[in-house]
Amino acid sequence: MRGLSLWAALAALASVLAACGGGARYVQFSPQEQTVTRLESDGGRITAIIQPGTLADDVEIALRDRSEGDRGLPGVEGRSLAISFEISGSMPAPPVATPDDGNATTSAVQGRFIPVELDGSIEIELLLSSAWPLATPLDVQSWNESSQRYEQAGLSASLAEDGLSLSFSITNFGRYALYSPLPVEYPLAAPPAPRLSAASTQLRRLEWDSVSGATGFNLYRRAAGEDSFSKLNEELLQAGSHTDILPAAGSYEYAVTALRDNGIESGLSAVLASQAVDFDLLRQITSPQLDAPGSLLFDAENRRLLVCDEADPALLAFDEDGRLLHRIDKLGSAAMREPAALAIDPGTGEVYLCDNGYSQVFRLNSALQFRSKFGSAGSGPGEFGLLSGICCDGERIVALDGGRNLLSTFTPLGVYLDSPLDPLDAQLVLSGPSGLLLLPDGSMALADTGNDRVLLLDNEFAASAELARPAGNGTLTAPWDVVADVTGRLFVSEPSLGRVSVFDSSGEYSFQFGSDGQLNVEFGAQGPTGLAYDPATGYLYVSDPSAARIAVFAS
């Protein structure tokens, strides 16, 4: 269905006969002809299609445009005349005897023609200069000689599928008119494309905005590669969201239409493509020892999940099935205060834990026993304001200081190296960053919380890109943590909005989950915070501190 504004559509219809100039086009019609006769107006924009057998005698048929001359004549209340025309047929009068000689005749060439009537129907086709979006048939009016006005003729014109012609049939010669439809008889403009807000293996959560004048919406789906859409809803949907349970896993495309209260439907929106997803809520991890989980780290070598508990300060270790293995609340002889971030040395398996109660990084061996510590509170080299992220590539440690808005690098033993961000690069000005991820190629992703972005840094610490949600899907809001899976997808927690946003390996937004219970999980008041990923199983771990649990997703 094609969309056009009301005024553009009326202009298209009103200009249909503009080139005819009020003239008439005649054609000689013979009942012996076994082919369809097409009679066109002077401008070629009105066609009368005359089937063999419609008339019993040879006649002349005339097609005349009357649009301009009839503009001021009474017709349909509240509407303006769009097109009017006259179609007539005539034939020579019978021979007339002369008074002097009974055998003599006067030829009709002398001007004696009489009108003829139709024996069948004639199809009238109006060729439009551009597509017309009307969704319902138009009433056709006929001229009433007695009342001197156009009135209902009991006829309706149908719009061709391509929207470029209107057609109807008449059984009588005469004058006919079509009046402009009312605005409510036009479909609304096609709405914007729906948005994907959540996805799992066989579930898609779609959102779309309200449209002025719409009383409801229809949602359409097709499998990727198919030609036609199928309507998903039986009752009209309202603006907001709809969860589609798929018939099978795979890639699908979606579109919506908007409907007026009279049932006229708009054209399809732009198409949303939703790629195949392998992602489902699997289970949750809870424990009497788990109070408010924050930062997470999956130790792939030892097959365990490490959790910073912020409310009852401790480092907890769970196995793959969610059973508690260890709870550590001391760092050497010092009680843990404010565990904030975790990293692991890929070569040695040593664990680094940031504790903001001490403004220090503590080094633990693979058995989670205290080895050493480095750093102190302050604003000098190697000192920290508020530790919020850490990573290690085996050769150096990178610590993220959310209090001082900088990165600092250290040797694995904690010797300060440098602060690598260029202070003159405006793109590297941070604001309360809270999460740091080391990617396999040596680049990093940084959750720049106060700037509402995830900043991607190359292995030289230069800004390479920023993650962004597409227009209409809102912006990243105060991202807290970021993690990657084996396919390169990035998961970003946004606690203030109660959701996790997902980006594909090229940095394009894919979907989100968590808010409004999407993907069958709704996070608590503090929202999702820490993220961890197990490359062996594809499990994504998400901490939910308000609910004292960790949600586990299979992906």
Residue 160 CA to residue 163 CA, distance in Å, equals 5
Judge whether 401 and 429 are in contact, CB under 8 Å.
no
3-state secondary structure of 152: strand
pLDDT at 97: 59
CA separation (Å) from 174 to 93, 180, 552?
A: 20, 20, 76
Residue with tokens 């009368």: 48
Tell me the two tokens of residue 202. 């066989």
C-alpha separations of 35 from 32, 55, 314, 511 in Å: 9, 13, 93, 60
110 burial level (CB within 10 Å; 0-12, 13-18, 19+)? exposed
Cα separation of the two ends of the chain: 39
Residue 377 gets which letter from DSSP?
Answer: B
Angle at Cα 527 formed by Cα 470 and Cα 242, nearest 5°? 50
CA distances from 113 to 86, 89, 95, 122 (A): 17, 10, 11, 21
Instruction: Specify the pLDDT at position 318.
Output: 97
The pLDDT score that the predictor gives to residue 104 is 53
What pLDDT is attached to residue 377? 97
**Gap between the Cα atoms of 406 and 387, Å rounded:** 10
| 15 class by beta-carbon count within 10 Å (0-12 exposed, 13-18 middle, 19+ buried) | middle
Query: Both tokens of residue 288?
Result: 């009497």
Q: What is the dihedral of CA 238, 243, 248, 253, to 10 degrees?
A: 50
d(CA 290, CA 75): 79
d(CA 234, CA 231) in angstroms, rounded, equals 8
Under a CB-based contact definition with an 8 Å cutoff, are residues 461 and 407 in contact?
Answer: yes
Q: pLDDT 10s digit of each residue in the chain, 555 long?
A: 333 343 344 444 444 333 333 456 778 777 777 778 888 877 777 888 888 878 777 888 888 888 888 988 888 887 888 888 999 988 877 766 565 555 555 444 455 678 888 888 899 998 877 666 665 678 899 999 999 999 998 998 888 887 788 899 999 999 999 887 777 777 888 999 999 888 888 888 899 999 999 999 999 999 999 999 999 999 999 988 898 999 999 999 999 999 999 888 999 999 999 988 878 888 999 999 999 999 999 999 999 999 999 999 999 999 988 999 999 999 999 999 999 999 999 999 999 999 999 999 999 999 999 999 999 999 999 999 999 999 999 999 999 999 999 999 999 999 999 999 999 999 999 999 999 999 999 999 999 999 999 999 999 999 999 998 776 667 899 999 999 999 899 999 999 999 999 998 999 888 888 877 777 778 999 999 999 999 999 999 999 999 999 999 987
- C-alpha–C-alpha distance, residues 167 and 128, integer Å: 11
* b (16+ CB within 10 A) / e for 233-267: eeeebeeebbebebeeeeebbbbbbbbbeeebbbb
Q: Which residues contact 55 (CB under 8 A, 6 or more apart)?
A: 29, 31, 89, 116, 118, 119
Query: Pick from 127, 150, 128: which is nearest to 139 by CA?
Result: 150
The predicted structure's pLDDT at residue 472: 61
Beta strand pairing status for 339-344 and 334-335?
A: unpaired
pLDDT at 471: 65
Give the chain's domains with CATH numbers.
Answer: 6-185 (2.60.220.30), 195-274 (2.60.40.10), 279-304+313-328+491-555 (no CATH)
Q: d(Cα 349, Cα 302) in Å, to the nearest integer?
A: 9
| Residue 365 to residue 377: CA distance in whole angstroms | 24
